[in-house]
Amino acid sequence: MKRVVLCLVLAACGKNPYQATVDDVLLAEADGVITPEDGPTVKLSLKELEPEVPKGAELARIAISYDVSWERVQKTMNRFLVQGVRPVLLVGRRSDVRAFVLSDELKGVPIRVTATADGKFCVGPPDNNEAKCVQSSDKAHIGRAFVRETVREAVDAYGLHDVDVLAASDMDWADVVRTVDGARTCCGDMQINVRLQDAQVPETP
């Protein structure tokens, strides 16, 4: 019992070893990740909402705090792209810093997913307005496991392997990542292509 209490105290006093950070920036969590390319790293957080674009760089790794709004991430990406710098978006997979592909090219007719800042997402077929909606108990954040389950049900029901996501601009960045990642990783080894609407996606070399 004493050992359990001691472990809890130590965990409360230091960084969580199962969460990835860049300096003081706590990253959003994802499972479908890639190895980030080398390059200068900048931070986008509530304390640093206007990161400087590295001069002369082809790309920049952006460490985005989990609680920054999706709208602010969009504006930052656009600003970097306008200045010719390709943004590489950093996320965490447990304690490891990784990169996240924001949007895929769709190969076929997509399942529709909408997500809002009140912890709610809806999944529906492409040909009508019917949808199954799920809202988290806290009405604040998206549950990635619920996204996986609901999208998997839709994939099985409709026989479709593409997903089109519309995320509200006032959502936290972490909830956008949970929505996209949950849909993309819904179905084991089956490849699911997920397009995030309004995402400025740079071409990769």
Domain assignments of the chain as residue spans, ordered by start: 21-99, 110-196
pLDDT tens profile 150-173: 999 999 999 999 999 999 999 999
pLDDT at 61: 98
Q: Following CA atoms 167, 171, 174, 180 in sequence, which dihedral angle do they give, to the nearest 10 degrees? A: -10
Sign of CA dihedral 89, 90, 93, 97: positive
Mutual angle of helices 173-184 and 70-82, in 10-degree steps: 90
pLDDT at 15: 58
42 near 54, Cβ under 8 Å?
yes
Phi-psi region of 65 (alpha: psi -120 to 50; beta: other; left: phi over 0): beta
Nearest partner of 155 among 121, 118, 111, 92, judged by Cα: 111
pLDDT at 18: 83
Q: Where is pLDDT greater, at 31 or 204?
A: 31
Q: pTM here? A: 0.90
Domain 110-196: CATH architecture, name and number where available: 2-Layer Sandwich (3.30)
Residue 46 has pLDDT above 70, yes or no: yes
